[in-house]
Chain A
């Protein structure tokens, strides 16, 4: 895991001291809000509906126990005792006071965390596979590259005033858990003839105009990454539209100019940019890689685990849903669900964060990950430790066995917090989870990703949900549109709208009708919702959703 060097620490301390001065000058009246706003946004401080909100980056989703404890400390000392894990590997605090924010940033700085470029038209927090370094299917750990990109993009003078925000995701596995095809730039680590490199995908994105990214370069050697990224961004900076906020993202630039033109311009830029790189970045990368060496995995018997799996059905259910395959047979990847039925997706209390930090320290080689699906991961756990971990999680309300199931919902904060939202999303998620828990249908339904956004900006990734829900304001009333068939993985697809939207009190029954239709038309219990949808299409779901209009047609 990356440890700050003297330069990093000094840079962050200076930046935090600058922000402290900016806050003081806003309070004493030397800065107007117009002057202060871009400064606070550069440091992750938003003003939302009911309060300020501080968004802290969790670079590529990796945390150590001390960092997690510091996130808990912020929640306890300066917020309301909890934090909200977001859909892009950040954590948000919903209730900070302006005067406290510099102290919060200093506390974060002491453990190598910051809120820089979590807002604004800059390169945002680089996200990655939450199973990085642990997954059985991984070619290579993408996190050293992600850290290199973090260092390169932080305060990069050329890219502080882009036409719009810019999001990069990177995966080292063929199974894409980082939604790379819905990012401005997606990087997939591949190998060709024994040479490490990337497939570079560009122009993906959700929001108002959802698009699946296109391949810009099918193989980019690893040492060319930074000059190539600079070329991609430089072309975007020149070509990207600044006249219309809704046409400003790179996906529109690529669409309007064509991928071939974009590629030609990038390749031209790339030749110039590459000449400016002298290999220092690759030296730095080598140094960064040493920080991410795999832990010294312990050996030992897994008999205790096998016995508990055989005798304890609650433990067994949790193992079956919340564990993923580790690259070492006697280890497992544990996903801790932050989606207890009826609770707010992604919200963890300070006590829960402290417990997860303790468990990581005691059992998981001091490593934690945060997923864009708003859960927490212990990436390396010897199987013999699973019963003890499960018991401790159960005590803290963290042992919900629902990962990948209908109640493991991604939801943005929606109109309960967000100033941009057009409808609520949290209560919809809470009610869907509670309803299917009540029906005891969750495990029978099986793998299903519901994603909910409270506005067109799609922070809840609704376009790539198997069932996507979008909350809108229709003539002063909350209204929810449904899309089906979205997919955020390597087989990425944007969901298709079912038809007219549903009122707030109609949306839960509507989802129930979709699920009922699925259970009726699926061929076997193993055919997932997405597979069924791809086989039968929209018709049976439409019929279930809009029975009256069917009658009218008949």
Chain B
């Protein structure tokens, strides 16, 4: 029975939110607000579960040091008080510091060195002319796109460099087009799932 009720709620909410394709109405807004309410409630429950298992339970079991992150977490709420706002800066400084420090550990390797290494393509792949041409295109687009971002050196403004720079701009526009197409594909896939749900699971037409 619960499954059937869930199925109907899901189907009705899907149809309600779909009316947004026509225009924003109280029906579509109601569906949006229900979704936000449910998600907020779920996030609160999950967050409490996390605080409980990572903080409270450990303190209760005698690991007293865990009181420090719990107190820092409480201090974060000082942002809602004008008098005690300054307290909020300490947990934020710590979170930013730890976040940046952790990310730095793999940043140079992953974002710089390995990507440079990954851009060394062979221009002569034996027995595969397609791969050789592909790699040549990759090299030209990489170099030309980088030239586009050289603004301050006069030598970079010569005729050849200007043309390469223009080519780099078109290459980037092609990449943006690829990104845009991927965004559309994501949205279509998301809605395809809902259509399949409505027709196959709810209406059982298939």
Bind each other: no
Interface residues, chain A, with chain B CB atoms under 8 Å away: none
Interface residues, chain B, with chain A CB atoms under 8 Å away: none
